[in-house]
Amino acid sequence: MTAAIFVGDALGLDFLNSIATPLDTPVDWIKDGEGLLDWVEQARLAPSEALGEMRKQALPGELDKVADQARRLREWFRGFVREHKGRPLATQDLAQLEPLNRLLERDEAFTRIVVLADKARPAGDEIPFQLQTARKWRSPEALLLPIGEALARFVCSEDFSHVKACEGSACTLLFVDHTRGHRRRWCSMAQCGNRAKQAAHRHRIKAHHD
């Protein structure tokens, strides 16, 4: 399993970042069905047991077909984000989100009562239960549902004014700028930020010698 990139500060953007050019070579973490299962597991969008059952029970080519649907969903949503980033969403933008609402309508999520882990229980709280949201994983297509929910949460909870594209010259990563003053410019200081510093340093040396 290749480690996926989670620098978007929002799972909806991390899904868009599941295709990226981290070291000058494009990588698609959802290039096939196995990649989709791995990415969903790394994003913690489905329990490992459900993914294991899917691996065993899927028909030949079925997971690859769902991965293709996930890639189409990703590129559709990328278009929406690129069109609207840098300004707040408006009520009239809802019409463009109709494909996402259609996906959400297929969900089979439900709530159930489970035992609350001792470490998660506040001191002095005697109630041993909590309400948990779960989902029926009837087919590989169900993998699209938690992704759709992550996209919907992103649309409904983040200010698109602070959605940015990394300023790295070859970088395709997107992120929400939650920093104070909203001055974040890079997907990661260790990667694109450092590259930009090195490039600026080389430019200064060259200018000095010229």
User: pLDDT per residue over 48-73, tens digit each?
Assistant: 999 999 999 999 999 999 999 999 99
Return the percent helix, strand and coil in the chain, to nearest 5.
Answer: 50, 10, 35
Q: Tell me, what's the pLDDT at 191?
A: 72
Is the predicted pLDDT of residue 209 greater than 70, yes or no?
no
Q: Tell me, what's the pLDDT at 205?
A: 61
Give domain status of residue 196, yes or no. no
- The rounded distance, in Å, linking the Cα atoms of 34 and 22 is 21
Q: Tell me, what's the pLDDT at 73?
A: 98
Give domain status of residue 46, yes or no. yes
Residue-level length of the chain: 210
pLDDT tens for 86-97 read: 999 999 999 999
Q: What's the average model confidence in pLDDT over 11-39? A: 92
Per the model's pLDDT, the better-predicted residue between 165 and 207 turns out to be: 165
Give domain status of residue 209, yes or no. no
Sign of the alpha-carbon torsion through 140, 143, 148, 149: positive
**Residue 159: which CATH number?**
1.10.3300.10
- The rounded distance, in Å, linking the Cα atoms of 44 and 164 is 24
Give domain status of residue 3, yes or no. no
Q: What's the average model confidence in pLDDT over 130-143? A: 93
Is the predicted pLDDT of residue 208 greater than 60, yes or no?
no
The beta-carbon contacts of 86-95 under 8 Å, at least 24 apart in sequence, are 86/160, 86/161, 86/163, 86/164, 87/160, 87/161, 88/159, 88/160, 88/161, 89/155, 89/160
Give domain status of residue 190, yes or no. no
* Residue 125: band (very low, low, confident or very high) from pLDDT cuts 50, 70, 90: confident
Q: Tell me, what's the pLDDT at 197?
A: 62
Q: Tell me, what's the pLDDT at 201?
A: 46
Q: Tell me, what's the pLDDT at 56?
A: 95
Give domain status of residue 88, yes or no. yes
Give domain status of residue 130, yes or no. no
Q: What's the average model confidence in pLDDT over 176-196? A: 83
Contacts of 183 (CB under 8 A, 6+ apart): 177
The DSSP code sequence of 23-60 is: TSS-EETTSSHHHHHHHHHHTT-S-HHHHHHHHHHPPT
* HSE, side-chain direction, 13 A CA sphere, residue 51: 19
* Residue 4: band (very low, low, confident or very high) from pLDDT cuts 50, 70, 90: very high
Answer whether 80's CB lies under 8 Å from 174's CB. Answer: no
This prediction's pTM: 0.85
Range of the domain at 59: 11-108+138-185
Summary mean pLDDT of the chain: 89
Give domain status of residue 191, yes or no. no
Count of domains observed in the chain: 1
